[in-house]
Amino acid sequence: MQLTGAQIVLECLKEQGVDTVFGYPGGTILNIYDELYKQQDDFLHIRTSHEQGAAHAADGYARSTGKVGVCMATSGPGSTNLVTGIATAYMDSVPMVAITCNVNLPLLGKDSFQEVDIAGITMPITKHGYIVKDVKELATTLRKAFKIAKSGRPGPVLVDITKDVTQKSCDYKTVTLSEEKRKITYNHDDILTAIKMIKASKRPFIYVGGGAVISGASEELKNFAHTVDAPVCDTLMGKGAFDGTDELYTGMIGMHGTKTSNFGVSECDLLITLGARFSDRVTGNAKTFASKAKILQIDIDAAEINKNIRTNFAIVGDLKEVLSAINEELPVMNHSEWLEKISDYKKKYPLKYETDKLTCPYIVEELDKLTKGEAIISTDVGQHQMWAAQYYKFRHPRTFLTSGGLGTMGYGLGACIGAKAGNPDKLCVNIAGDGCFRMNMNELATASKYNLPIIEIVINNNVLGMVRQWQTLFYEKHYSQTIFEDKVDYCKVAEALGCAAFRITKKSEVVPVLKKAINAGKPVVIDCIIEEDDKVFPMVPAGASISEAFDAGDLASKK
């Protein structure tokens, strides 16, 4: 049948099972939006307040559902406004297809109005990018884009389409998608070698990254950990892959990881690395990281093997499949003496905070109790992000959405909107610092327009908290441009944008307000006033070994 390019775009989205799109219309993409108007019963289109919000919403949708997120924008500034969101998705391996439209083919390369080479701009931050100049290539290109976005190590793909392609027509045939068999890149001998290393270990430690979430390996990971009888730590991206309430769990590793995880990894004789890339925020000084241990790494991306840390053995493959194969042949092990030492560390070095005042950790702990760990939590970037990772007990995968690799301030609210669109029956909460909230708080208008009952918790210390923490500890308290000193009222802003609003100034108000917000049935902003000098501990100084983690008590004893 003959279809226009705009119709082909929507038909291809239907082929891929897409029912939700985030975007913002404009001149070059008008033909697609006109077709969306005609087919509005087939798609939930959420028009965000800004294109960056659309990219973050598509990201949050993808992370929380496991599906490919889709965002759309027009040419020029519309497409460039997607860039931060695309880069965020790229750094955290999030499957996304960004569809942009460009000027008509004859106008390309002539500095035409709102023309920009978005494919060129995003080349370093996408798995692949296309510019479609022929309507006959459109369907094939879109199918390739979705395949690339979700295969192997996932990531964003950009498809830029000239406006005249969306107008022209060609024959279109619907394609029924079939499940492709994954190419196996390891053999049985690799499995046996890994098992041999595990059996020889006396002090194994399991280090879990975002690959465990992406591969859906939670059940296999649980069985593996209890069979090996080894402690488990995770990265920011790995949260929820392993139950945060499990007795083997030791907390996050790295710059703001627990002392138990950091000391344990520093003392183990085998570090079993599952779907993690040895980020600098995890390893600290790479030369001293896990220096007493052999390294066994399992990852789907061969490029991550020996990139940051040299391994003793590695298996390249899908983590769920590899762990399943290992679990079939791995004998039940006992490391009671090692686990007893780790348990002693847990008792000696628990996470702690000041209990005589309102703090973010207290708010997060109460939220965890009220939701029983069943909410989807998104965050922005900074102190509040670390506190959320430390004090909310993530029990399930795809329940923690945060910008780990890029560290994108302003990410959380859009991601929370996307998560709620993809999981309408789940409670979705964004935890943001006041600095981050300012960056994209216009997306509250999106939440209220579409009546998405999300909860936005603003941890308001009237400063850029994490930057101030560094200034306090390492820059002689030179608070250069980190104190807001203004009169912004976030509750009034929230109400003006169609949301309910509450303010918390003391501990006794936390639970009653959280209960009201959970039952509000509309988007809610909670402005939480905390002290400006609260700090995230433990902490590892930049470039130091993770065994040098310190907390408030260590600082006090030094003084």
What are the two backbone dihedrals, phi and then psi, of residue 53, each rounded to the nearest 5 degrees?
A: -60, -35
User: Six-digit token pair at 288?
Assistant: 């001293």
| 39-44 LR contacts (CB < 8 Å, sep 24+) | 39/10, 42/10, 42/14, 43/10, 43/13, 43/18, 43/19, 44/19, 44/20, 44/421
Pairing of the two strands 232-234 and 156-162: unpaired
**Which has the closest alpha carbon to 437: 461, 467, 413, 415?**
413
Q: Within a 10 A sphere around the Cβ of 227, how many other Cβ atoms?
A: 15
Q: Catalytic residue at 167?
A: no
Q: Among residues 113, 352, 474, 531, which one is catalytic?
A: 113
Which residue in the list 114, 133, 136, 144 is annotated as catalytic? 114
Give the neighbor-by-neighbor strand order of the sheet with 400-401: 400-401, 376-379, 428-433, 455-460, 524-529, 500-504
CA distance 443 to 488: 17
CA dist., res. 248 & res. 224, Å (int)? 11
Dihedral (Cα; 465, 466, 468, 469), 10-degree rounding: 110
- Return the closest-CA partner of residue 523 out of 548, 502, 552, 551: 502
> One-letter amino acid identity for 3?
L
Active-site residue 51, yes or no? yes
Backbone angles phi, psi at 101, to 5 degrees: -120, 145
Sequential DSSP letters for 312-379: SEEEES-HHHHHHHHHHHPPP---HHHHHHHHHHHHHS------SS--HHHHHHHHHHHHTT-SEEEE
Beta pairing, strands 428-433 & 455-460: parallel
Pair 366, 344: CB distance under 8 Å: no
For residue 77, CA distances in Å to 81, 99, 379, 487 come to 6, 14, 26, 31
79 Cβ neighbours under 8 A, 6+ residues apart? 51, 73, 100, 102, 116, 118, 160
Question: How far apart (Å, rounded) are the C-alpha atoms in residues 499 and 449?
Answer: 10
Displacement of CA 162 from its chain's centroid (Å): 31
User: Which residue among 11, 51, 267, 456 is the active-site one?
Assistant: 51
Asked if 163 is an active-site residue, the reply is yes
- Residue 515 is encoded by which pair of tokens? 């209960």
Please check whether residue 67 is in contact with residue 40, taking contact to mean a CB–CB distance below 8 angstroms.
no
Dist. CA 414–CA 52, nearest whole Å: 8
Structure tokens at 451: 């009546």
The verdict on whether 114 is a catalytic residue reads yes
Known catalytic residue: 205? no
Catalytic residue among 91, 386, 466, 539: 466
Beta strands at 169-171 and 2-4: parallel, antiparallel or unpaired = antiparallel
Could you list the beta-strand ranges (E) of 68-127.
Answer: 69-73, 96-102
- Report the catalytic residues: 51, 113-114, 163, 466
